[in-house]
Amino acid sequence: MTSIQANRALLPALAAGFLVFSITLAAAGILDFPATRTDLSAEQLKRVRDVTRATEDFSKAEPYEAMQGGALTSIDLVTRDIFSKPSANLSLERGQDFHLGNALFRKLWVSAPSSTQASDGLGPLFNARSCQSCHLRDGRGHGLEAMGTDATSLVLRLARPAATPEEEQAAKDFRALNFPDSTYGAQLQDLAVPGLAAEGKVTVAYTEEAVILAGGETVTLRKPHYGMTDLAYGPMDPTTTLSPRIAPPMIGLGLIEAIPEADILANADPDGKNGDGVHGKAAIVRDHRTGQLALGRFGWKAQNATVRDQAADAFSVDIGISTPDRPNPYGDCTVKESRCLAMPNGVQKRLGDTEAPDPVLPLVTFYSENLAVPARRKASFPDVLHGKEMFYRSGCAACHTPKFVTRDGIKGSDGKGSPQAFQLIWPYSDFLLHDMGDGLSDGQQVGVASGRDWRTPPLWGIGLTQTVSGQQAYLHDGRARTLTEAILWHGGEAEKARNAFAELSKDDRQALINFLESL
């Protein structure tokens, strides 16, 4: 690890950096989080600083390193269903809620009207019939080519810039992160209920580029080119941008939400003052329930603040199901899709005012919060430890922050003491936005995230992608077929780390990949 990277890992220095960042945001009237944690005593805070300091000893595994999700870690036998295990510390009562949430996560919704009145309301335009359809076995989605014409776990997000003074003000106030296409809405729906035309189909073509690594190894990268065919409702706004997104894995979400804002923002350096070339900026969003400004943590561009926000958005936009948080029963249908708005919906007044009334969303949220992170494999093996050293020395840990300690004394989404409270976790992410260069740019602005900006994805569980999903597909659109390809796509702030990886010897590169596969 370089001295700069070591300094980034020291919490006192980071806290000082955050204080400047917090003051800057507060002066702009944006955010005003405390500069340090308020849930801990001074003695506890010192312990947390010591425990989360980046290691410089790669001769052995760190204490508790194999338990990536703290006391919630699953130590079950690794099978294709390893991402579907409950948090290990759930009580019996909460285990029942987990299984109810699981059933609702897998529930296949049907079009209205239907004899199964508790299950109707699908669409009318949609991308999937259930949450599980995209997050198969709670894992990562596939790229489009791997699925042929089926784009179930890949969606095309649509967005355009502000076009009026009112829209500009809404963006400035964070009341809107961007604006939907006036005809096709926020997402292209490639499926529809009977009697209605789907909006269109996603297409992709690839060009290939050979990259030669140190020692002469050649890796072929696929550059995707996305488009649309069979648009059923007329032309799209010429300013609308297309952003392909595959479904991310579901594990550890409740733990991510439990990380204190102060500890995430401590790593932010939007003005590049520390000189290491890694900036990192916070995603600023509004909590969909309270309307209050919050730190974005979830989604490829950190566009949602909470697990519940993420779930409600998916119900509405992906499936077309209304919830108390998103009560429109027509999902992403626009005023230009009049036939869609004339279709029957699934609201049953005897059940509530939405197609998925409480407790559907709370149970799905609880399930999503408590999908356990699997235990590490081979964490103490010499080749994995060597790969961990290469990971740090290449600069990967500058964005993929290894560990955090979650907030103490918090309550779960069910109002009871949270299973996620005060846990040492190893997500390998700073949960900030970073410029990843032109190669990964989608050209789509999402709040403070530019087209080149992406949230650092957590790496825990990444080594089980093949086991759970049946194939490997990495990055926001699944273009990378191997972990090596995924690393070589890194640009912008990550270009130095990418080049350091490419310049390693073949054995050192393989050791780094072995380390990632152990996560």
Query: What are the per-10-residue average pLDDT scores of the chain (519 residues)?
Result: 31 35 42 85 95 97 98 98 97 95 97 87 97 95 69 90 97 97 98 97 94 97 95 97 97 98 95 87 95 97 97 98 97 97 94 95 98 98 98 98 96 84 98 98 97 98 97 96 98 98 98 98
Task: Please answer whether residues 255 and 69 qualify as being in contact, where contact means their C-beta atoms are separated by less than 8 angstroms.
Answer: yes
Domain extent for 184: 3-518
DSSP code for 227: E
Is 423 in contact with 255 (CB distance < 8 Å)?
yes
CA dihedral (503, 506, 511, 512) positive or negative: positive
How does DSSP assign 140-155, residue by residue? ----TGGGTT--TTEE
DSSP state of 185: B
Going from the C-alpha of 268 to that of each of 26, 37, 272, 371, 442, the distances in angstroms are: 15, 16, 9, 28, 23
pLDDT attached to residue 147: 52
pLDDT of residue 428: 98
The residues, any chain, with a CB within 8 Å of residue 53's CB and separated by 6 or more, are 9, 10, 11
3-state secondary structure of 435: strand
Q: 420, 373, 90, 73: which is closest to 251 by C-alpha?
A: 373
Question: Residue 245: which residues within 8 A CB-CB, separation 6 or more?
Answer: 154, 155, 156, 157, 300, 476, 477
CA distances from 111 to 287, 387, 499 (A): 30, 50, 51
Whole-model pTM?
A: 0.93
Sign of the C-alpha dihedral, residues 20, 24, 26, 31? negative
Specify the number of domains making up the chain. Answer: 1
What is the reported pLDDT for 240? 98
41 CB burial (10 A radius; 0-12, 13-18, 19+): exposed
301: its two tokens: 């561009």
Q: How far apart are CA 371 and CA 99, in angstroms?
A: 11
Amino acid at 169: Q
Is the CA virtual torsion 109, 110, 111, 114 positive or negative?
negative
So what's the pLDDT on residue 153?
Answer: 84
Distance of alpha carbon 262 from alpha carbon 323, whole angstroms: 31
Which pLDDT score is estimated for 1?
30
Instruction: State the burial class of residue 335 (Cβ atoms within 10 Å of its Cβ: 0-12, 13-18, 19+).
Output: exposed
Q: Which of 146, 142, 179 is nearest to 465 (CA)?
A: 142
Number of C-alpha atoms within 13 angstroms, CB side, residue 87?
30
User: Whose CA is closest to 150, among 198, 182, 102?
Assistant: 198
Compute the distance between CA of residue 380 and CA of residue 168 in angstroms, rounded to an integer: 53
Q: Strands 241-246 and 218-229, how do they pair?
A: unpaired
Nearest to 72 by CA among 61, 56, 53, 85: 85
**Alpha-carbon span 131 to 352, nearest angstrom:** 21
Query: 313 near 320, Cβ under 8 Å?
Result: no
Closest Cα partner for 449 from 469, 427, 425, 431? 431
